[in-house]
């Protein structure tokens, strides 16, 4: 295994074959994940390529990840500008994922407490309740196959809605899923399309995007209005957002700020976990020996009971399965930044405004840091084993902009796996599954699985 320090000096390689004007856009646009992975294997840990007018740097080494996200994080900002929104900011506005500076700092201070560890027990109970409700509907599927990725999306959407907003979105599920899919795809395409038409030009695509946004805006504004009207006091995110006051001015969040933060948590809080769970079911279905050990653990610990937050400490293998799935299929496959000033790192210089991608997908499969990197091996996480190097494993990012929902997801993922895994054994009902990047790393066209029921373990007490 390599020592991270010994590679602090890396050479920046220009990816060959860029076309005039377009650069490497064609290869990247069609298959961003495969292209980034192939370039990394061929040319190394620090690369430069062009997407139309933009020059992009791809870093796939832990030492570079550490510099960008931790030790020099003040020199690397988010790529979004409030005045000229692009990419995710077109959908999420100036919420926690897309904002910067003082607004971000203030809002992170407001939102962070909702994810405190002390709240996780109550949240876990809610998560499990939602899981039970959805499982009750699974009986109707019988032997028919379902798209497990879509199912996980609906499950985690309902979880986020019930835990953060104390409301059910079950009756709007199809429309929310559709609207989020349309708008995230639009946002993602706008990033690497140099001729992306502004949203106000009435093309069919822009109109569809507009409808999707209006639907989500209405949903959020109605949610806020209903809470204000009822005056109900729930211990949730919506309450924190409504109660928040600026320390100096005493002014609360504007409706637009409320909308941006609420929609950000809706989107960031379910899409990532849903994809992580979908990939986990896929990996379990294709690794019978892991599945057997998983079933043995959940049966032994739960005896058919609904899992709680406390059970998780007795389910190390289930947690290891989730960690290993996040390694092989990180829902955020690359973290994007831009340099705020001219910056030197890893022995080379980047100009101001240079775009940087920290390639988590590549980092997580780096053969210099992981033994047998392509293999699904939950055992590598047992007995308190730590990642092989600092910043070699970053599914939730690191540094000031690390995921605010890390604990939430680390409870939700294994809890839902255990809850479902003790009753069902999802079997793969299609030949192969192809990963696709659309903001997050998702299975292209979903994953068809049949929901084979498992025996009911004996319940004691």
State the burial class of residue 363 (Cβ atoms within 10 Å of its Cβ: 0-12, 13-18, 19+): buried
Say whether 337 sits in a helix, a strand or coil. Answer: strand
Task: Provide DSSP, 39-102.
Answer: HHHHH-SEEEEEETTEEEEEE-SHHHHHIIIIITGGGEE-S--SSS--TTHHHHTTSTTT--HH
CA-based nearest residue to 403, from 155, 69, 33? 69
Q: Supply the minimum distance, in Å, between the C-beta of residue 199 and ligand HEM.
A: 23
Q: Which is nearer to ligand HEM, 335 or 449 (CB)?
A: 335
Residue 249's contacts (CB-CB under 8 Å, 6 or more residues apart) are none
CB of 345 to ligand HEM, least distance (A): 17
Q: What is the DSSP letter of 445?
A: T
In the complex, least distance from residue 373 CB atom to ligand HEM, rounded to whole angstroms:
19
Residue 458 C-beta: closest distance to ligand HEM, Å = 33
Tell me how far, at minimum, the Cβ of 397 lies from ligand HEM, in Å: 3
Q: For residues 15 and 410, which CB has a smaller minimum distance to ligand HEM in the complex?
A: 410
Q: Are 148 and 426 in contact (CB under 8 A)?
A: yes
Query: Nearest residue by C-beta to ligand HEM?
Result: 405
Nearer to ligand HEM, 96 or 110 (CB): 96
Residue 105 CB, nearest distance to ligand HEM (Å)? 9
Report the residue number, 338 or 423, with the smaller CB distance to ligand HEM.
338
Residue closer to ligand HEM by CB (options 160, 451) is 160
Strands 13-14 and 343-345: unpaired
What does the longest C-alpha to C-alpha distance in the chain come to? 71
In the complex with ligand HEM, the residue whose CB is nearer, 27 or 130, is 130
**Closest distance of CB 460 from ligand HEM, Å:** 32
* DSSP one-letter code for 404: T
Return residues touching ligand HEM (CB under 6 A): 96-97, 108, 160, 264-265, 268-269, 272-273, 276, 331-332, 335, 395-397, 401-405, 408-409
**Which residue lies nearer to ligand HEM by CB, 265 or 328?**
265
Q: Which residues pair with 440 in a beta bridge?
A: 438
In the chain, what is the straight-line distance between the N-terminal and C-terminal CA atoms, in Å? 49
């Amino acid at each position: 295994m390599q020592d991270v320090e010994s590679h602090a000096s890396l050479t920046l390689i220009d990816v060959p074959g860029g076309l005039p004007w377009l650069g490497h856009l064609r290869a990247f646009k069609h298959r961003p994940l495969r292209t980034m992975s192939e370039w990394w294997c061929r040319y190394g840990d620090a690369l430069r390529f062009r997407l139309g007018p933009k020059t992009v740097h791809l870093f796939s080494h832990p030492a570079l990840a550490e510099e960008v996200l931790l030790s020099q994080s003040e020199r690397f900002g988010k790529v979004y500008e409030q005045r000229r929104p692009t990419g995710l900011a077109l959908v999420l506005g100036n919420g926690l994922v897309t904002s910067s500076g003082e607004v971000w700092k203030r809002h992170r201070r407001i939102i962070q407490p909702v994810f405190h560890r002390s709240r996780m027990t109550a949240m876990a109970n809610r998560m499990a309740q939602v899981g039970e409700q959805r499982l009750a509907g699974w009986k109707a599927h019988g032997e028919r196959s379902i798209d497990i990725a879509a199912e996980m999306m609906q499950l985690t959407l309902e979880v986020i809605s019930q835990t953060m907003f104390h409301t059910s979105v079950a009756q709007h599920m199809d429309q929310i899923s559709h609207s989020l899919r349309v708008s995230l795809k639009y946002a993602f395409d706008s990033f690497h399309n140099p001729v992306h038409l502004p949203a106000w030009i009435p093309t069919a695509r822009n109109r569809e995007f507009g409808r999707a946004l209006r639907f989500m805006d209405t949903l959020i504004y109605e949610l806020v209005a209903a809470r204000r009207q009822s005056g109900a006091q729930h211990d949730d995110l919506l309450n924190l957002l409504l109660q928040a006051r600026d320390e100096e001015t005493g002014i609360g969040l504007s409706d637009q700020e409320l909308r941006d933060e609420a929609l950000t948590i809706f989107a960031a809080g379910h899409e990532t976990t849903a994809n992580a769970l979908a990939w986990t079911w896929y990996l379990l279905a294709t690794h019978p020996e892991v599945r057997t050990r998983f079933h043995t653990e959940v049966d032994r610990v739960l005896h058919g009971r609904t899992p709680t937050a406390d059970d998780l400490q007795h389910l190390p293998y289930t947690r290891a399965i989730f960690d290993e799935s996040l390694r092989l299929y990180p829902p955020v496959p690359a973290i994007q930044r831009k340099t705020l000033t001219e910056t030197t790192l890893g022995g080379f210089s980047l100009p101001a405004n240079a775009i940087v991608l920290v390639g988590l997908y590549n980092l997580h499969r780096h053969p210099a840091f992981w033994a047998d990197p392509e293999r699904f091996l939950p055992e590598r996480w047992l007995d308190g084993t730590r990642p092989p190097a600092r910043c070699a494993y970053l599914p939730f990012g690191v540094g000031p902009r690390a995921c605010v929902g890390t604990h939430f997801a680390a409870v939700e993922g294994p809890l839902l796996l255990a809850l479902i895994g003790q009753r069902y054994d999802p079997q793969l009902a299609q030949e192969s599954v192809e990963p696709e990047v659309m903001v997050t790393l998702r299975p292209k066209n979903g994953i068809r699985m049949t929901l084979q029921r498992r025996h009911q373990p004996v319940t004691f007490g």
